[in-house]
Chain A
């Protein structure tokens, strides 16, 4: 589903990704771990098309489609979803208004019928309830005044509403309390654990992986994947740290 080949990217002229390759098939969950500053968020931004993140070499395709040639909104319509490490606050724009406009823009570009206000509300209510986010919060401006954990829940509600085929979740587990972690983990499984979907989890801790069991674990250090393995690799990392691997 997601094919990344020898990807090089720089920010402000500074090389961050230095030949990163990764292949994710439909039906799989991959986890990327790695030291602070390794380039994990940079990878997620490059794939989502954030301005200022310049690809200097390599390719990235989603179901064979050249992601790097698309604008951010086209990547979303192609099925890519990024759960932000730091969700952005947008005063004056309500979550519901924004999500309905976004979802309908995606559907329109795929030639699907747009959802009416009532149809959309039904979907939004179901997702908010499943993820334990008060519907009243969805009426408020995007992430404004949300706690750290509420912002992460909101990211997952958005994912549930948009129903993407490939989700990159950047530290969705950080800032969550113990109960929230389980709710979010269940949510990711419910929304994304499907034969025709795939997930890339960026995380620092095993605890999320206890709920969302990865098929593959990779270590990203210094802009490249330096090691890959099965779920046991995460446990090994937790025991021994990155020192030996990322050196």
Chain B
């Protein structure tokens, strides 16, 4: 297999990326393959670590056989560029779950890019992404859902929410639907907001300093990405790491 050409901003999946950072590490290793057998389930937690100048580019190619389930929980907080891309193929009745949290500041570029291919009927996918951004950080969620002609009864949903702590931060959310079947449910919701001032005042009036009050509200917001993670210990670990990243922004 020959190395792929360096991506350019003209490619949809790379248009918001930090291409200078990409060039510095190109070519990247091929995608890690994950095959989930029929009826089996797999959980993958991805929380890369990197220094401020680090570059993280991680690709996954996931194939979920009939009736299987695969869940990805991502905490994307590290490096100048942090990019996690997942290409999923869903067979009959399979399910893909994504819970992604992005916490970034300064000039970080943090991306989650998914392509979910519903190639057979009855498969479902649910993707939840929560981003908190400060400084001139940029987050992107690019979520493509492709539904093949005979993939009837597909149910695909995406919920993408971002919270901007500074006016200079940017959140991109791009759903892309390619649907060739007709009996399909695809739901997509995206919002960008700021902290609820009333809630902040309520917390502060009970004695919480502003930074702690904000951290509490943001922690709750980010935790929305991990509710589907059943392992309490793993969830607590991700939430604690997310909180540490949030506190560093405040």
Contacts and interface: CB of A to CB of B under 8 A. Distances in A.
Interface of A: 48-51, 71-73, 75-77, 82, 84, 87-93, 97-99, 101-103, 105-106, 109, 141-142, 158, 162
A78 to B, nearest CB: 10
A92 B201 contact: no
A98 B223 CA distance: 15
B206 to A, nearest CB: 4
Contacts of B219: 92-93
B-side interface size class: 20 to 34
B199 A105 contact: no
B217 A73 contact: no
7 pairs of A and B residues whose beta carbons are closest in the complex: A92-B220, A76-B207, A106-B207, A102-B206, A88-B202, A72-B204, A102-B207
30 contacts: A50-B201, A51-B201, A71-B210, A72-B204, A73-B204, A73-B205, A73-B213, A75-B205, A77-B207, A88-B198, A88-B199, A88-B201, A90-B196, A90-B217, A92-B217, A92-B223, A93-B217, A93-B220, A98-B203, A98-B206, A99-B206, A101-B208, A101-B216, A102-B206, A102-B207, A102-B208, A106-B207, A142-B202, A158-B206, A162-B206
B209 interface: yes
Contact of B221 (A76, A92, A97, A98): A92
Contacts of A105: 207-209, 212
Which of A50, A77, A101, A103 has the most C-beta atoms of chain B within 10 angstroms of its own C-beta?
A: A101
Contacts, number: 78
B224 interface: yes
A50 to B, nearest CB: 5
Contacts of A71: 204, 209-210
B197 interface: yes
A199 B196 CA distance: 29
B161 to A, nearest CB: 12
Contact of B209 (A73, A84, A142, A162): A73
Contact of B206 (A50, A76, A91, A141): A76
A84 B202 contact: yes
A90 B206 contact: no
Contacts of B206: 76, 98-99, 102, 158, 162
Contacts of B224: 92
Contacts of B199: 88-90
B181 to A, nearest CB: 35
A119 B161 CA distance: 37
A98 B216 contact: yes
Contacts of A50: 201, 205
Given A71-B210, A73-B210, A88-B198, A102 B220 contact: no
